[in-house]
Amino acid sequence: MRSLSIPAALVSIALFGCMSCACAQGVYSVRGPWLDDRAHPYSLDTLRGSFTVFTMAYGACRRVCSSSLRVVRDLAVLAAERHVQLSVLVVGLDPAQDKPADWAELRIEQKLGFSNVVFLSGTEASTRALARSIGVKYWRYGEHTMHDFRLVLVSPEGQVLKSMDKFDQDVASLLP
């Protein structure tokens, strides 16, 4: 059996510690830059201390993404009816196509004028990092962006608590 040298063991412990810290920081620690649908800078850190539902969408997609946005609308209405404090973030999957002006138009089109619903655009790197942190898989197929249907509830500390992965799942299951 081969043993690690003391310096190699210390490096391994340090790396494991850093990875544990990064995981413990959670979703809110994913760095941008992010822009909301009014083209204002946005920091996920502002969400610390509150429950947040995250989903990702592709602005050009009118099938799966419009279904996701219907769920977002239903969730926002349900949270308001039950007096549940909840932020909802819809993050664009294609930084080259999903621009703040496009999200603003989609917000109106989908009747998502709720103040607690935010549409975000990021960079390729920040988008991939956020997708990883909430478990959304996506890929390019020709000129299209394909992706999972997934919404997640994130704790005030930034940890994923539960998810909705099926269209027919009860929306109320995402409420804290």
pLDDT at 126 over 80: yes
**33 Rama class: left (phi>0) / alpha (psi -120 to 50) / beta:** beta
The CATH number of residue 49's host domain is 3.40.30.10
pLDDT at 170 over 70: yes
pLDDT of residue 13: 35
pLDDT at 6 over 60: no
More confident of the two residues 125 and 23: 125
Residue 55 included in any domain: yes
DSSP-assigned letter for residue 13: H
Of 39, 42, 90, nearest to 67 by C-alpha is 90
Banded pLDDT at 147 (limits 50, 70, 90): low
pLDDT in tens, 51-73: 999 998 876 555 445 778 888 99
Mean pLDDT of the 28-36 span: 94
In this prediction the pTM is 0.79
Residue 17 included in any domain: no
Whole-number average pLDDT of the chain: 81
pLDDT at 174 over 60: yes
Banded pLDDT at 1 (limits 50, 70, 90): very low
How far CA 36 is from CA of 59, 120, 127, in Å, comes to 14, 4, 13
pLDDT of residue 40: 97
Residue 32 included in any domain: yes
> Which residue range(s) make up the domain with 119?
27-174
Residue 65 included in any domain: yes
pLDDT at 157 over 70: yes
Count of domains observed in the chain: 1
List b or e across 89-110, with b for residues whose CB sees 16 or more CB atoms inside 10 angstroms: bbbbbbbeebbbebbeebbeeb
Residue 7 included in any domain: no
Of 42, 76, 52, 17, nearest to 133 by C-alpha is 52
Residue 161 included in any domain: yes
pLDDT at 47 over 50: yes
